[in-house]
Amino acid sequence: MKVLVYAVETKDSRRAWWSVAPEVDKRYWKNVAFREGVVAGWGEQAAAKPARPEGVVALKERLPLGIAESACSRLAELWKSGSYSSSMGDDMRAAIRAAWEEAGEAERSGAESEVELWDHESVSEAGFEQGRALAVQARELAERLRGKSLLQAELTAMLGDGRGFAGEIMQVMQLAALLGAVQMYPAVTPAGSKPVRFRLRHGEGKPAALRCGRCGSGEERLRRTHCASCGRWCAYCEACLTMGRCRECALLIVGLPAPDRPLNREGELPADRLADRWKLSPAQSTAAAAALAFMYREPRKRSLSPFWKLSSSSDSRAFLIWAVTGAGKTEMIFPLLDAVLAAGGKAAIGTPRRDVVLELAPRLAKAFPQFRHTVLYGGSEDRFDAGDLTVATTHQLIRFRQAFDLIVIDELDAFPYHNDPMLHFAAANSRKRDGTTVLLSATPPSELQKQARRGKLAHARVPVRFHRRPLPVPKRLTVPPIMRWLQRRRIPSRLFKEIKESVRRGAQLFLFVPYIREIEPLVQCLRRCAVGFDLERDTIEGTSSQDPDRGGKVTAFRDRRIRILVTTTILERGVTIAKSDVFVLDADKPLFDASSLVQMAGRAGRSADDPEGLVFFAASAWTATQKQAARQIKEMNAYARRNGYLSSE
Amino acid sequence: MRFSLSRWLRPEMSECTVCGRMADARSNAVPVPVRHPAAREILQQLCMGCRSSIPWIGAPVCRYCGRPEFCPDCPRRQDKQMAFCRCAVRYDDRMRDMLALYKYRGSERLEPVLAAMLAAAFERVCSELGGRDAAHIFQAVTAVPLAEERLDDRGFNQAERMAVSLSQWYGVAYLPLLQRVRHTEKQSLKTRRSRIVDMKGNFVADRDVMGRIPFAGVSRFRILLIDDIYTTGSTVNECARALKDALAEAGVASEPEVYGALWARS
């Protein structure tokens, strides 16, 4: 889009603005009655009245948003330094020329630089009424935009489903922006918050480096195309494209942070009280109490830190709950959610997986019936409004900015959150500055494990499952690679024996394989041996991410209609089967990393009735990854034993 | 793009433009029905899965609209302004998703892929007109225009973008000959009848641009019209009408012919 650039001069300052609805700006600065109406409509908050302008100089033509923003920040820098030229128009023209040059389109500068002076408008009753009505709406809009960060199309969609606004939405928004209650940015902006003169160049002779203002992606994820909307080569972000397109000339509308709600002191309970109230095991309640105490800790003052501290990436408001698979992570966060919600704050649970969102939502609705719940995922019914408690995929957090007092990231090491800087950016930005992030994982990424060990990341370990029995330790099973024996259609005798033994003891079997293409042949091969396992042929099934009936098969597996399920890492987490044994085939394949192996091993022995499930890593080689996974599990068991969390063995 | 060891060790692997997976660009196992080397190369960058899922229209059954099966619409159409048109692919679910990703989500990285697919339809029109040298068959390529507001929203006109690519590949001048008169409601929300009626008088030809057509010494005057989807044919038909009327009125050509090349036939 294109916007109008103008500058306002008062007795002791100059300020440049760009506007999406200049008719509002013109009245705001030049119509006394309108301005008084605005003050009346806005209410007590408009106390800080800006000084009366001496003169307002505006360009005659609109400029592409990217250029306008760059020109305005140049002017702000220039005028802050106190260097005023005699004419505002000259300053503006120079700034616009510089902006075009920086964008690599110097030849365009000067084309649209004719300026005009805005005259005073006559004072009228109608002006006052217009100002009042617009200000009332602007205030309502600002309230609705609190904690959000939306593209223009999303704002329209948000207003469309609820109560609309009588006036032109751009006018309402422009007034809210003038009053500082809403901020508008180009959705793709120059990288970093550095002053203009220190801005990085994208490359020799190329335009300044940009980044996506919504997802934080840099030049490598931006693409420049010719844009019919602003008439120049305009960059758009490919990283967050699925959430709506951010481009240099598109508005990103950011509301004020959600209002602060200090926690009630009485919410901070010791471990034993938590255990009673939320029915937690000792290990669970100790971790929950530690997290709760962390949440109540005063936010550290953002003092000037020594330079060496700046490089540390750890977040001082983040707390890691490192809980083994099957520890009952969700129950542990209930006390935290309760503390925030009881104080009137907002909490969110973000998880990379949609399955997890759908599973969590009803449990939370049951645990906190008195609060408003919002469930967000691609294609969900709710879209924009955050209730008191929001459960969302991590992608959806991109639409929030300083909205939550507490944000819990569940399964933070799962795809696609893990290693995606855009989702980390979204999660970090959706939290209030002084809010708390709680990270939940059975297998934290090694970077976080390191930070935790070095004391840079506050954390609590939950080394034991809720049934207080040790985790099953993986056993090594040396068999040739799948491909070799699958071709000959013969299951290696060692593997055959163990599968048969598991079936005999009445367990459900997970068979994990690295590749989807191996599932079908393996299912056929197993079915041929079904009689040998003493099973019906159709109790052996396979499923993968590409299987439309995955949900149905998992249910059938849970109901014991399926006894052997061949699958990939898609089922490595989130699935709880009462009595199950785990076989990881080709466990030496690099596709399975240590956390994957730990997660898959974590499918065994989850219920109190059968805590001693069996786990086998079947591979031709015992790799470092497998060793590492086995070591992690043993370490957790040892830690639990030392701390007396295990029930008598 | 992240560093990957496999990319480093096997440089012939490249990222598929459509699905983003790594694919071996050299594989020729799936044939591509396009002759132009630049367009071929774009399509060969796709992975095997994406390439083999393109529902090419191998043999048009309807001689008018290029539909690959019996077409009940064209025989009953009375007012045929366009000579004929050809479409590159069937509009199945995958193609619908691909077009939506490009057109509505704005993933402009798909643009060359769609243009390269459209090249198949373009080449078919040429060969049915008895030649491979597009520059001698057509005097100009033009595209169905977009309403001003829509263009402002979207930032690009997909038909125009594809037409420009074709014009560069085949050496035929691209000229923005058409303009849209009034803004119509979204096409997809309408019935066939109302669409045909509604399209009437929707387009006009731009006289100034028309003056730039190189017609000197041309015996048969042909224009190629580009659009993304053929549904009822009312859009291309009305565009053809506007072009022919304007050309006749300007006395440029007594019997101009307008042909269509479209990306998909729904």
Instruction: State pLDDT tens for residues B48-60.
Output: 888 889 999 988 9
A641 at B interface, C-beta within 8 A: no
Q: Give the pLDDT confidence score for residue A182 in this predicted structure.
A: 94
Q: Give the pLDDT confidence score for residue A311 in this predicted structure.
A: 37
Which residue of chain A comes nearest to B106, CA vs CA?
A: A245
Distance separating alpha carbons of residues B104 and B106, to the nearest angstrom? 5
- B1 part of a folded domain: no
**CB within 8 Å: B152 and A234:** no
pLDDT-based confidence at A418, cuts 50/70/90?
Answer: confident
B83 vs A52, higher pLDDT: B83
Options 3.40.190.10, 3.30.70.270, 3.40.50.300, 3.30.420.40; which CATH number does A475-642 get? 3.40.50.300
- Shortest distance, CA A182 to any CA of chain B (angstroms): 22
* Mean pLDDT on A158-168: 65
pLDDT-based confidence at A111, cuts 50/70/90?
Answer: low
| Interface probe, candidates A227, A230, A418, chain B, greatest B C-beta count within 10 A | A227
Q: Give the pLDDT confidence score for residue A308 in this predicted structure.
A: 39
Q: Give the pLDDT confidence score for residue B227 in this predicted structure.
A: 96
pLDDT-based confidence at A51, cuts 50/70/90?
Answer: low
In this complex, which of B105, B109, B156 lies closest to A228 when CB atoms are compared? B156
B24 vs B65, higher pLDDT: B65
A1 at B interface, C-beta within 8 A: yes
Q: What is the pLDDT of residues B93-127, one digit of tens each?
A: 999 999 999 999 999 999 999 999 999 999 999 99
Q: Give the pLDDT confidence score for residue B194 in this predicted structure.
A: 62
The token pair that represents B179 in the structure block: 């303009």
Contacting A with CB below 8 Å, chain B residues are 1, 105-109, 151-157
**CB within 8 Å: B152 and A247:** no
Q: What is the pLDDT of residues A266-302, one digit of tens each?
A: 777 788 888 888 889 889 999 999 999 999 886 655 5
Domain boundaries, position B140: 14-265
Q: Taking all residues of chain A, what is their mean pLDDT, rounded to a whole number?
A: 87
Q: What is the pLDDT of residues B222-260, one digit of tens each?
A: 999 999 999 989 999 999 999 988 888 777 666 789 999
- B140 part of a folded domain: yes
**CB within 8 Å: A220 and B105:** no
Where do the structural domains in chain A lie, given as residue ranges? 2-141, 265-298+315-462, 475-642
- Shortest distance, CA A457 to any CA of chain B (angstroms): 27
Q: Give the pLDDT confidence score for residue A413 in this predicted structure.
A: 87
pLDDT at position A164 over 60? no
**CB within 8 Å: A225 and B107:** no
pLDDT at position A560 over 80? yes
Exposure of A495 by Cβ count < 10 A (0-12 exposed, 13-18 middle, 19+ buried)? Answer: buried
Which residue of chain A comes nearest to B110, CA vs CA?
A: A238
B155 to chain A: which residues are within 8 Å by CB? 225, 227-229, 234, 247
pLDDT-based confidence at A196, cuts 50/70/90?
Answer: low
Q: Give the pLDDT confidence score for residue B156 in this predicted structure.
A: 95
Domain count, chain B: 1
B108 to chain A: which residues are within 8 Å by CB? 223, 225, 236
- Collect all residues with Cβ–Cβ distance below 8 Å to A242 and sequence separation of at least 6: A378, A395, B105
pLDDT-based confidence at A262, cuts 50/70/90?
Answer: confident
- B110 part of a folded domain: yes
pLDDT-based confidence at A310, cuts 50/70/90?
Answer: very low
Q: Give the pLDDT confidence score for residue B17 in this predicted structure.
A: 86
Q: Give the pLDDT confidence score for residue A103 in this predicted structure.
A: 84
- Whether domain A265-298+315-462 has CATH 3.50.50.60: the reply is no
Same fold, A265-298+315-462 and A475-642: yes
pLDDT-based confidence at A354, cuts 50/70/90?
Answer: confident
A228 to chain B: which residues are within 8 Å by CB? 151-152, 154-157
Q: Return the percentage of chain A with pLDDT > 70, whole number.
A: 92
* Interface predicted TM-score (ipTM): 0.84
- B205 part of a folded domain: yes
* Strand bridging mode A182-186 / A318-323: unpaired
**CB within 8 Å: B108 and A225:** yes
A273 vs A176, higher pLDDT: A176
In this complex, which of B1, B105, B157 lies closest to A228 when CB atoms are compared? B157
Q: What is the pLDDT of residues B125-173, one digit of tens each?
A: 999 998 878 888 898 999 999 998 889 889 999 999 999 999 999 999 9
**CB within 8 Å: A242 and B105:** yes
A225 at B interface, C-beta within 8 A: yes
pLDDT at position A187 over 60? yes
Q: What is the pLDDT of residues A515-548, one digit of tens each?
A: 999 999 999 999 998 999 999 999 999 999 888 8
A328 vs B263, higher pLDDT: B263
A245 at B interface, C-beta within 8 A: yes
**CB within 8 Å: B151 and A229:** yes
Residue with tokens 């045929």: B80
pLDDT at position A46 over 50? yes
Interface A-B, measured as beta-carbon pairs within 8 A, has a size of: 35
- B230 part of a folded domain: yes
Which residue of chain B comes nearest to A227, CA vs CA?
A: B155
- B104 part of a folded domain: yes
pLDDT at position A42 over 70? yes
Dihedral sign, CA of B98, B104, B107, B113? Answer: positive
pLDDT at position A192 over 80? no
- Shortest distance, CA A440 to any CA of chain B (angstroms): 26
- Shortest distance, CA A226 to any CA of chain B (angstroms): 8
- B31 part of a folded domain: yes
pLDDT at position A348 over 90? yes
Q: Give the pLDDT confidence score for residue A300 in this predicted structure.
A: 56
